[in-house]
Structure 1
Amino acid sequence: MSKLARVGIGAAALALLGLLTVTSCSSPLPRRDPTGELFPAAVGKSLEGEEVALPNDLLGEPALLLVGYVQDAQFDIDRWLLGLIQAQVAVRTVEVPTVRGLVPGLLSGTIDEGMRGGIPERFWGDVVTVYGDAAEIARFTGTEGPRNARVLLLDAQGRVTWFHDQGYAAPLIPELVDAVGRAGR
């Protein structure tokens, strides 16, 4: 098979994956602020291949979850990560791609492999993709405005102490830094 034919087949497969992903998504759920509530139990898999139980595997210290419901949320997540790095925020940070629907769950290996291709291997443990329990997280935060990350600061017991879902805003970084300090007490 020629290289051109393989590229054509790959592009067609990618287009089909995109179509299946879009058509398998549910209606948006209304936004909700879960501050003060325990993060729901959900099992995901890190890009290293390790099973991760959220929030249980993060208990004992504060943790910041950056939840994304669609691929376009990565832009917002990256801006939050840059802001956190610039402010030298000292908190465990986990990206949580949360993918609802039967078809994406069936294609989880392909989706995760695509993410591995864009993330340096040393950070794979900090990306935990949730498929099967994605609906629980979606109900917890809502999915309206899916391109915006859901930024959830959990305390040592897994309770949300700070939440934002309106897109990255640099003026909120000092507020988040203060919240991290309070969550660590």
Structure 2
Amino acid sequence: MGPLQPEPAELVVGLVCFFLIFGVLGAVLLPRIEKNLAARADAIEGGAERAEAAQAQARAVHDQLQAELSAARHEAAEIRQNAAEEGAALIAAVRAEGQAQRDGLVAAATVQLEADRVLAEAALKEDVIAVAVDLAGRVVGEPLGDLPRTRAIADEFFAELDAEPAAA
């Protein structure tokens, strides 16, 4: 007998062992292998699907955040613009108030200076008249302060002096 024609007892024992091993493999190991392969396939395909879903969700969140950021930038620009306008209005109001105060102070100072000038001019005229009368009295040798015409002559002199700058 050769390898191509086995003995029937060996053939039966070989077939029984083959079917026994095939049955154990088919009943025990193949379901486990299929279960592991299915779990791997689910992990691979499901992981990819979950990754795509997570990526889509991340894109949606990113787009939402970009929209919120754009709205916040727009709002900040509006706030800056409003603040600049309010600042310009406040500066203009303060400047106008300061200008009004300055004008009031200048007007009050001008009035005060004019009043002081008139008073000083009157006092100076009186002093000039007194000195002139005293000097004239010394020249003449008699006191001239008692003469009624002395005051009229001095006033006429000062009127001529005031008229000269106006004519020029």
- Which range, TM-score by smaller chain? under 0.3
TM-score normalised over the length of structure 2: 0.16
Which of the two has higher C-alpha Rg? 2
Structure with larger RCO (C-alpha < 8 A, sep 6+): 1
Structure 1 or 2: more helix by fraction: 2
